[in-house]
Structure 1
Amino acid sequence: MVDYLVVGMGLAGISFCEVLEKNNKSFIAISDSSQISSVVAGGLYNPVILKRFTLAWNVKEQLEMAMPFYRDLELKLNSRLLYKLPVLRRFNSIEEQNLWFEAADKPNLKPFLSPDLIFNDNMHIEAPFGYGEVLGTGRLDTANLVDAYKRSLLDKKLLVPETFNFEELNIDSSHVEYKSIVAKQIVFATGFGLRVNPYFNYLPLNGTKGELLTVKAPLLKESNVIKSSVFIIPMGTDLYRVGATYNREDKTNVPTDAAKTELLKKLNSFIRCPYEVVDHVAGVRPTVQDRRPLVGRHPQHANLYALNGFGSRGVIVAPAAAQQLYDLVENNKPIEKEMDISRYANKS
């Protein structure tokens, strides 16, 4: 018998497996490649919601845990994962500048918003009103992380690369059985796949499709992330990730011409150099209407757990949420009420 069976190997599953390893708990992971939002994501971590100039939920505490967490993973996997990148918010008017400076003067935002106006010096970007700089930002190479972590688990024979079959799951009061695996607890970290989970499909996981382009722009020579109507994220070797779209109707991982057209129209509104689209990807983010994660114990089965609903902020949220779930299971420490799935228990 192992301590845990972990289903799903995106940011949520990886974070939880890492917490288990650090606490000397045994586990087996099961994962297919059906949910790809962690892999195709831009991986940007940014503490500020730039549409409204507000601080993201619990972001200070989450960042304090996330950065050391990923640095430890870099050492463990012997792979570069974290890239510090300034995020520059492009202003569209004097009014936007003023709103930025008002926000930068608020005590909770001061550590994250520079009070200095940054003037544009890139002739290939139109930004006559300049930029505001967000502090404490960067990019996690999520695709590299998922690939390297899965390979590490495969080498240790801790990963079963298959689609989870719920018909083969047997639940007992003291353990669960899945095929030949016996575990004390099972954690579902399957992203949007939670929608087809018969034990947790009562949870209001909506799913929001996001599409991103990768463009090659040799003349652009921009080392900062530019946030305008879209993000432009430098990826090295003249490549830039451009995104993202938000589609609440389409729940497929198939890239669409409509999203490509939308992204290119927004990009062309402020980029003034030639480029070539070299990649186009899509994935469904596990989003929740109240914009809070879905973490906790099943209301009827005490050894079934969910770790999900991180939306577009998985890079920042995942390590802290994984630790909270572990503390619930092992130490009976309550999860923050805002993310605890017990807020929906009466709907199960």
Structure 2
Amino acid sequence: MLWTIDYGPWTFHYFRTMQFDYLIAGQGIAGTMLSHRLLQEGQRVLVIDAYKPNSASRIAAGVINPVSGRRFEMAWMYEQLYPFAKQTYRQLEQLLGVPVFKERDIWMALPSEQLRTAFNNKTTQGLAQQYTHPANAALMEPWLYQPYGAAIVKGATVLLHHLLPAWRHYLAEKQLLRDEQLDLAQLQHTAAGVQYKDVQARAIIFCEGAQIIHNPWFKHIPFLLNKGEVLKVHIPGLHTENILKKSITLVPQEQEVFWAGSTFVWDYVDEAPTTEKRLFLEESLQQLLKVPYTVLEQQAGIRPSGKDRRPIMGLHPQYPALGLFNGLGTKGCSLAPYMAHLLTQHLLQGVPLLPEADIKRYFNR
């Protein structure tokens, strides 16, 4: 930082190097949760992030769902992840003064007899039965096509459109945010720490989402980037706090306005929304809704994930001042709080990471 002192007829300029414990590159859900956790532990943190309205975290619906896929399997580690996530998001509500977390039922309009049977088989035994129960399909009959009935899954949403800007404002007020794109050419690192422009720290943790593919120190990790597109739609007269799900997911945003998505493709030309996927999403809406709707907006973003669909986190084994927290995928809102807690314990106390999430699994290969 440039400092200026006026002394009589002379003006002196000098640079002061600012000291932090950790730099965090990126302020999506991963960077938000990690910076929050490190600050809770009394660490000095600087977040470096250029605002991008179509980042994966900013266009996501923030759904937390205890079951996964068409087989309705229990989500990985859900019994540990969900209580920790709920507590963390409630703490952030108190700190930031905005609504962040809302428990909701996921109303599933079952799309076929086969999936109705699969749901009934999976959710009447084991952990899944704690989070599911049959639905009275007649309650949504005026609104939804549901010839095979419906079921309810107990889920939640993280209100990312409140959380991310509120946390950004909090960081900025405390001078813990640099609103700029990280310039890797100006980042120097040794075993003892890193220096970025006028800032020094023990380490930098990259939480950059899809930007990680441009990072030379982690380029051999096989991140899989995929593009997702979503709509914001107005459905006059539809008032519900439930998430509605069939081949498409509808998440309440505000009065009669819903997030509708999302698509998933590996091959894409750029990050822009496409006519093809808008038509696909609208076709899915028409298979779910009996009532008219209006499309208000279309968005698209790029999401990173690992091949094994597990988080990728930890310090580079060759360059210990460089770390990574990425690959949270579609379960990011349930994973991020607990994984940020584990990574913080690892950084500060040397507690081993979960083998399934440890970055070393890629280096050991």
TM over 0.5: yes
The equivalences for 1:1-348 within 5 A come to 1-34=19-52, 36-114=55-133, 116-122=134-140, 123-135=142-154, 137-250=155-268, 252-346=270-364
Deviation at 1:50, TM superposition (A): 4.1
Q: Is the 8 A contact 1:37 1:284 kept in 2?
A: yes
Q: Which residue of structure 1 aligns with residue 16 of structure 2?
A: none
- Where 1:300 maps in the other structure, the secondary structure is coil
Deviation at 1:256, TM superposition (A): 1.0
Give the letter for the 1:68 counterpart.
Q
Deviation at 1:33, TM superposition (A): 2.5
Give the structure with the higher percent strand: 2
Q: Is the 8 A contact 1:219 1:273 kept in 2?
A: no
Q: Is the 8 A contact 2:239 2:255 kept in 1?
A: no
Q: Is the 8 A contact 2:345 2:351 kept in 1?
A: yes
The runs of at least 4 consecutive aligned structure 1 residues that moved more than 6 Å come to: none
Deviation at 1:32, TM superposition (A): 0.8
Q: Is the 8 A contact 2:111 2:247 kept in 1?
A: no
* Percentage of matched positions with identical amino acids: 28
Q: Mean Cα displacement is larger for which, 150-159 or 29-38? A: 29-38
Deviations 1:264-291 (A, max 9, x none): 0111112111111001111111112211
In structure 1, list runs of 5 or more residues that go unmatched.
none
In structure 2, list runs of 5 or more residues that go unmatched.
1-18
Number of equivalences: 345
- Structure showing greater radius of gyration is 2
- Where 1:207 maps in the other structure, the secondary structure is strand
CA RMSD, Structure 1 to Structure 2 (Å): 1.4
Deviation at 1:18, TM superposition (A): 0.8
Q: Cα–Cα, structure 1 residues 45 and 251, in superposed 2: closer, same or farther, change >3 Å?
A: farther
Give the letter for the 1:111 counterpart.
Q
Deviation at 1:302, TM superposition (A): 1.1
Deviations 1:194-244 (A, max 9, x none): 110111121111111111101101133343211101001122211011100
Measure the CA separation in 2 of the matches of 1:81 and 1:284: 23
Measure the CA separation in 2 of the matches of 1:251 and 1:291: 24
Q: Is the 8 A contact 2:71 2:119 kept in 1?
A: no
